[in-house]
Copies of this chain bind each other. A is one copy, B any other.
């Protein structure tokens, strides 16, 4: 069987990349925006360009059939899809390659792998879609571990049961979002939770990392869609009861959601589903002033109307993504429903936009901008492999903040990031902001940065910028991540944000479930 393979060195599946037209567009964009004049063509790495260390572990006979030590497989599981990951791949650097990659097909095999790792003194690194942009899947462990085993969940797939009455489904943890949607479609149902990583993302991975999805309001995080979880830990199986709501003690699901593989592998879950939308209304509005636009978003977020789409994209981000000429800020609005006309709600939102100085414009103008934005959102991850050889750093970070602090927070984070770019590279870069999700009490601002780096110093330069941006987010009251997860990259700032005693309590809880500390060391618990 010729299985489709994920690129080991970049985003998506083998054979997928930016189109020639997109590459031309990127050249024009960065030529204009960053005065980049040369676009060196460095081919992506090949497997044989990496000299991999000999695996330090050898699986027992009972597990050999589900374990692989072949170079492609080890390389494909040695890091995620972050900017430094791409830089290192183009540098032909893979400093932390798992000794073994295991593909269990059952919970029994997951348990057996945990037992083996415990016996060997090896670390076990959970791997779902592998789309981490925060170092969540890279097997970086200290010398106390005798080796690393990456546990891929992608052979534990499928929809076990669909409950149309309650609009929920029992899904195995390794199921990828497109496969899930295909399985739900005949039932007229959809999860309708589409992170940017959706081509690869797995259900278990989304729960482990508290992913953010399609809905700008209400059902923002996967958290809200989880009805129950089933997790294999080194100490055994932890399964919560399927319930629409409960008040019986602290939520066991909320303990697992966001655990990022630090206590176990989410093998099964009941998720709440949506009917496929029938009624839709979309609009876009233009604003001259970002903070006035933010005030409009606040009014909408506090109106109780809960649009499915309410995304504010600042002018610079519109421009660099080819959405507009960058003269105005764009607010994308959408309602959808399977059951009721949404035009009244959209009319009310348009009033709020107009009240706050937004220009709803004509339908065509708005529709084009929204379509262009949507396409940019989907295609963006594929551009990293194009621009990394050009020594262009394009990274993102995201957070949330209450409305009262937004203007000051936004200015300080933008300034700190711009200053760090200048400090690190000696040149001005571009920093942009959009809101990915909004709440009645505040937005989730998502920042993008673009700058020209030095080919030989890209990692160092990125580190300087990432550190400064993370400091600014934490020092000014934000969260180190709204939906990208903690991973190894955010762990130092996460520890500043997390209540110290909660960290202590979680560490004790982990000790109970993972007494040999084999599960994803360095993530959540350090």
Contact = CB atoms under 8 A, between A and B. Distances in A.
Interface of A: 163, 165-168, 209-212, 218, 220-221, 223, 227, 233, 235-252, 254-260, 263, 272, 275, 298, 302-306, 337-341, 344-345, 348, 400-404, 437, 439-444, 477-486, 490, 494, 497-502, 504-513, 524
Contacts of A513: 501, 504-505
A323 B104 CA distance: 59
9 nearest interchain CB pairs? A244-B442, A254-B254, A505-B509, A210-B247, A244-B439, A246-B479, A238-B501, A508-B508, A166-B402
A303 B508 contact: no
B252 A258 contact: no
Contact of A250 (B246, B259, B272): B259
Contact of A441 (B168, B247, B482): B168
25 contacts: A165-B298, A165-B403, A166-B404, A167-B440, A167-B441, A221-B247, A227-B441, A237-B501, A238-B500, A239-B499, A240-B502, A243-B442, A244-B400, A244-B439, A245-B400, A249-B506, A251-B254, A252-B498, A255-B502, A255-B505, A304-B337, A341-B344, A344-B344, A505-B512, A505-B513
A209 B247 contact: yes
B248 A339 contact: no
A501 B258 contact: no
Contacts of A339: 302-305, 348
B437 A245 contact: yes
B501 A235 contact: yes
Contacts of A256: 250
A150 to B, nearest CB: 21
Contacts of A275: 302
Task: Find the residue from A212, A233, A479, A483 having the highest chain B CB count within 10 A.
Answer: A479
- Report how many copies the assembly holds: 2
B444 A244 contact: yes
A477 to B, nearest CB: 7
Nearest to A342: B304
A251 B498 CA distance: 9
A250 B506 contact: yes
Nearest to A254: B254
Contacts of A257: 250-251
Contacts of A485: 247
A18 to B, nearest CB: 28
Task: Find the residue from A218, A244, A444, A508 having the highest chain B CB count within 10 A.
Answer: A244
Nearest to A245: B400
Given A246-B481, A247-B484, A255-B502, 20 more contacts: A167-B440, A211-B247, A233-B501, A238-B502, A243-B402, A243-B478, A244-B402, A245-B479, A245-B482, A247-B479, A248-B486, A248-B494, A249-B506, A251-B258, A254-B255, A263-B505, A275-B302, A304-B337, A304-B339, A506-B509
B245 A221 contact: yes
A312 to B, nearest CB: 15
A177 to B, nearest CB: 17
A246 to B, nearest CB: 4
A208 to B, nearest CB: 10
B479 A248 contact: yes
A444 B245 contact: yes
Task: Find the residue from A233, A249, A258, A306 having the highest chain B CB count within 10 A.
Answer: A249
Contacts of A272: 440-441
B480 A248 contact: yes
Contact of A497 (B165, B248, B480, B498): B248
Nearest to A444: B245
B250 A439 contact: no
Contacts of A498: 248-249, 252
A205 to B, nearest CB: 13
A338 B505 contact: no
Nearest to A305: B340
Given A243-B442, A444-B245, A304 B338 contact: yes
Contacts of A502: 238, 240, 252, 255
Nearest to A263: B505
A263 B490 CA distance: 28
Given A304-B339, A338-B304, A400 B258 contact: no
A98 to B, nearest CB: 24
A218 B484 CA distance: 25
Contacts of A220: 245
Nearest to A161: B404
